[in-house]
A and B are shown apart, each in its own frame.
Chain A
Amino acid sequence: MRDLKTLARYPFLSEAKEYVKTLNVSVDELLLDLTYEKARIFGVERVENAVQKKNVGERRLLSEADYLAEILSYPVARMIVVCVDDAYFLRKYALGESVHAYLNLRNESADFLAAVGGDIGLSVKVDGDRLYVHFIDYIRYAPTRYRDWKMVNRPLKNGYIVVSRRDFARLLQECLRRRIVEELEERSCSETVQDAFPEELGRFRNMAAMQRKRFEAQPVGRISVTKLPPCMKDILASMQAGENIPHMGRFAFVAFLNALGVNSGEILKLFSTAPDYDEERTRYQVEHVTGRISSTKYAPPGCEKMRTYGLCPRDKMDDICKRVKNPVVYYRLKSKEMRKK
């Protein structure tokens, strides 16, 4: 078995889970018994840090007991998140856990990384310090919206891409994030958790509701949501649900809003709700599209382009859709029609 310190660092490993099993701690004990108070405090901190700092964070671990508390704080945090019962909150938490894991994994050996991969479902071949990832796994987990991550800029041969330890850690991050989201989406809240964390749950639900309110109630600048074409509604909805939007979707949305006269600041505000929001980078990207810092002001993609990129929800197409070739025209037409009524 790996040492407790390692398991405390990577509490998502099945080995950590096995270890917890051998302790014979019941859920009730974990949630209510004084012995596990530290685990509960750490668990709350995990959630709090994930939502506020995008990283569940490091705690000062000085003794065996601390390591144990850290390991146990992981299931505690997960139970709390399930009970907050909010898709966006859940995603933020999953991101916080996976980013934390990434920062530590960056410094691990190739063999260790491969073992972690095997454990969470991302297989890899190791040859010395080189890691060979199958391209199917690569495109599933790599942030290909960034140019240097695009497969075209990676050495692909016989189905495998060689990646550095650091890059493989990044793939593990995404794999872990999705795994956590999938696992927690299936769980339901138990009453004991409600009873154990009444105050914290209230606070977290409030935070989630505030976020939700921030993006639902607020009209997009002067833009009315009811007039948005189905494609843009979908992108906005995904954004508000805290899902990651593919690059083309972000671009289309920004260019669309820009064409309707929404300024960069307002657009930026919308993006601030994305789970991997990075203010500086987003500002740069938005201002690039809107032409503030580049020589070209990009035209919003037309319906054909939207279809090409799979961004046109065909089953939601309505009559206006059939009459227009650009989402912007849809918006104007719909406004006109609504004025008539």
Chain B
Amino acid sequence: MKFTISRETLLKPLQMVNGVVEKRQTMPILSNILLNATPESLTLTGTDLEVEMVTRTQLENAEPGEATLPARKFADICRALPEEAMIEISVEGDKATLRSAKSRFTLATLPVVEFPNVDEINNPYSFQISQKYMKGLIDKTSFAMAQQDVRYYLNGMLLELADNTLRAVATDGHRLSMSEVGTEHNPEEMIQVIVPRMAVMELSRMLEDSDEMLEVQIGSNHIKFSLNDVTFTSKLIDGKFPDYDRVFPKNSDKQVVTNRMLLRQALTRTSILSNEKYRGIRLQLSSGVLHTMAHNPEQEEAEEELEVNYQGGELEIGFNATYLLDALSAVDTEEVKVWLSDPNSSCLIHGLDDEQSKYVIMPMRL
């Protein structure tokens, strides 16, 4: 195997593949990435056995071949070379050599046969969606995913395809976010899969704000996302996601409409003096006015008053300020609508006249 490639052409796919290669691997081969050269293309593959990232790059007049190189060192070297540098990579025996101008590096390789293959997806359901929509779904929901929860099915994002709607749902049990987009796909049976947290983050890094179509293939154990020159495969979480529909409050009698940024700013300021551990913030609602209040164990206090569009009874309710702020940051309309009922019931937030993304937050007893 021997080919020459510019630093800039190599660096982006290399870093993308490197993203899934874990730093501390128990299996040495997993610290390596697989290079596969044909006369016209270079394929890079990285995996941690849960996910696999494959990128394809154009080559010219390459000498075909395969090899695995230590991922981190390979990437560090390429990054450290000067801009616009041309890199020649050749493999002989169990050594790989990188040459660029007056630099030369010899790296150890590991046998290609040891490099694990992620299982092929059998009989997948395939559909396409523009990558910016997919990225939007992730950006609007992924922050609510659980981290290392014993309810392992919460440590990921639910992707649901049904009735010409692709929906993403994430929840850590305290709050839930849901976002959906229309699609021309309408599978006979509703498709529901849970994509692991790690994979969601990688996918988000891979996607751009572009109209280019993303191909999604869903099998029984795996999901595969393909763009022109990148393929990302992940195992699915085998579990039952909670019935998210049940979580949306149905009987909220108090509706508040207010400017999203003003509310967010007020909460941001107030929360500075909330208990750092619990982030509890108290909301006091009365006709036309929302008070936000917080205090910490040092007895410091913050209070703000915000004019809101609300007519109705008074309510005092506590929340984790972070959850409110996360939701308000994910909404992108100028005005938000907040639905409340009583101090023990969840609150629903969405953009005014925009229910494509909705956020449910459970209150906190302060």
Chain A bound to chain B:
no
